[in-house]
Amino acid sequence: MEIETITVNSDLITDRVLSTGEEFLPDQRGDLFDITAEIDAPPHAAFGIRLHEIDIACADGHIRCLGNESPLTAHDQKVSLRILVDRTSIEIYAQGGELCMSLCFLPIEQDTTIRCYSESGTITVSKFVVRRLRSAW
């Protein structure tokens, strides 16, 4: 895959259980990322991923980011996400491409940490991969 040629390093987190209010922070800082996540979430659980002070929130059968919202259908309570983060844009793909959101933003900082959190309910993060990328230019 082309994106692998610009990967600087990566973190893999597996089988992490988060209860309401809990979070984890992968050991990556930067401004360009390729994030994949597989999350088991019961129907009434709410969780999210935060980067560049922006929340990508999943709750009540929807995904929300930067004032945009789209229906998100979990398959057997599993949510699959791929998030590509550039310096001023976020591309969110869910459930293997069933959903795609393309969003623009102005970052507050160049480098950011990434947080995965449970807002309510207990979720299991089966797999969470953060690849920090270098510029393709």
Per-residue pLDDT tens over the stretch 14-39: 999 999 999 999 988 899 999 999 99
Which of the four pLDDT bands, split at 50, 70 and 90, describes residue 3?
A: confident
pLDDT at 1: 58
The predicted pLDDT at position 7 comes to: 83
**Spatial strand order in the sheet of 62-65:** 23-24, 115-120, 46-51, 54-59, 62-65, 68-71
- How large is the average pLDDT for residues 96-107? 94
Q: Is 25 exposed, middle or buried (0-12, 13-18, 19+ CB in 10 A)?
A: middle
Tokens at 25, concatenated: 């922070």
* Structure confidence at residue 69 (pLDDT): 97
Does residue 92 contact residue 63 with C-beta atoms inside 8 Å?
A: yes
Q: Which of 47, 28, 52 is nearest to 37 (CA)?
A: 47
pLDDT mean across residues, the chain: 93
Instruction: Measure the CA–CA gap between 137 and 120, rounded to whole angstroms.
Output: 40
Find the farthest-apart pair of alpha carbons in the chain and give their distance in angstroms, rounded: 43
Q: Record the tokens describing residue 52, joined without a space.
A: 């560049």
Can you say how many angstroms the Cα of residue 66 is from the centroid of all Cα atoms in its chain? 14
pLDDT of residue 108: 78
Question: Which pLDDT band holds residue 59 (cuts at 50, 70, 90)?
Answer: very high
- CATH topology for 2-133? Jelly Rolls (2.60.120)
Average pLDDT estimate for 97-122:
91
Whether 90 and 84 have beta carbons less than 8 Å apart is answered as: yes
Strands (E), 88-122: 89-94, 99-104, 115-120
pLDDT-based confidence at 136, cuts 50/70/90?
Answer: confident
